[in-house]
Structure 1
Amino acid sequence: MIKVLFICHGNICRSTMAQFVFQDMVNKAGLSGNFHIDSAATSREEIGNPPHHGTVRKMKEVGIPVLPHRAVQMTKKDYENYDYLIGMDSWNIRNMLSIVGNKDPEGKVARLLDFTSRAGQDIADPWYTGNFDVTYRDVREGCEGLLCQIMEEGI
């Protein structure tokens, strides 16, 4: 079982979008039994809240199921429990590393766009930009790259 945790600041926009997009890709590839996919926040601001209405609207627009989810905060234990800890931007990565003790000995922490030709780039937060279309495009590209890499490594 490959365990993937998508992480952003509040766990209501980008990380939930990535969770839903990646789960949909995995399901369509017939690989759902091989994966456990979830999402979390680095902050506590949105704990208990559902996905942002902009994320829900975009998922419905593109035909991707919105899964039941309430925002939770990433914990240090997540480093042990997941194979991939995928942040959306530089601040997420900094905060994720802080949560896990500023160490990544197993190389589990990465930005989502690190799995694309745009490695090192951030996915803009639609909470601030209001542009869920651009965020979706970037999330989809990153999820496709992540799934390709996992497939190349062998499930």
Structure 2
Amino acid sequence: MKTRVLMVCLGNICRSPLAEGILKSKADAERIEVDSAGTAGYHVGNPPDPRSVAIAKKYKIDISTQRCRRFSRADFDRFDHILVMDRANYRDVISLAENEAQREKVRLLL
């Protein structure tokens, strides 16, 4: 069974797509599934910011096929670990948690 990890930032166009791409490039795809989402719905369906795509490409990581999506309560059930990029994202995600088990999945990335 795969461990499922979700990276979360505000818009899902800069930080979390890069974090998703970096983790995917380092992790064993047979053991770890990685995705990303944003706490706001500003960019749903859009690709990552061109600057994020460029910096990833510089390090031979392709994030150009990712599409922005918004974090949802269903993500608590789908993912084992939810790594947020900053304290505001942490508060936004925690506010959607319905129980302690869901809250325990959420951590600041750094």
TM-score by length of 2: 0.91
Matched, 1:98 2:95: yes
Unpaired runs of at least 5, structure 1: 114-155
More helix by share: 1
Which of 44, 48, 61 is matched with 1:64 structurally?
61
Matched, 1:10 2:7: no
More strand by share: 2
Looking at both structures, which has the greater relative contact order when contacts are Cα pairs under 8 Å and sequence separation is at least 6?
Answer: 2
Which of 72, 83, 103 is matched with 1:75 structurally?
72
In structure 2, the partner of 1:48 is 45
**Number of paired residues?**
108
Unpaired runs of at least 5, structure 2: none
In structure 1, the partner of 2:30 is 33
Tell me, yes or no, if the aligned pair for 2:47 and 2:64 is still in contact at 8 Å: no
State the 1:2 CA deviation: 0.2
Q: Secondary structure at the match of 2:30?
A: helix
- Higher gyration radius (CA): 1
Hey, which bits of structure 1, 4+ residues long, moved more than 2 A?
103-106
Work out the percentage of aligned pairs sharing the same amino acid. 31
State the superposition RMSD in angstroms.
Answer: 1.3
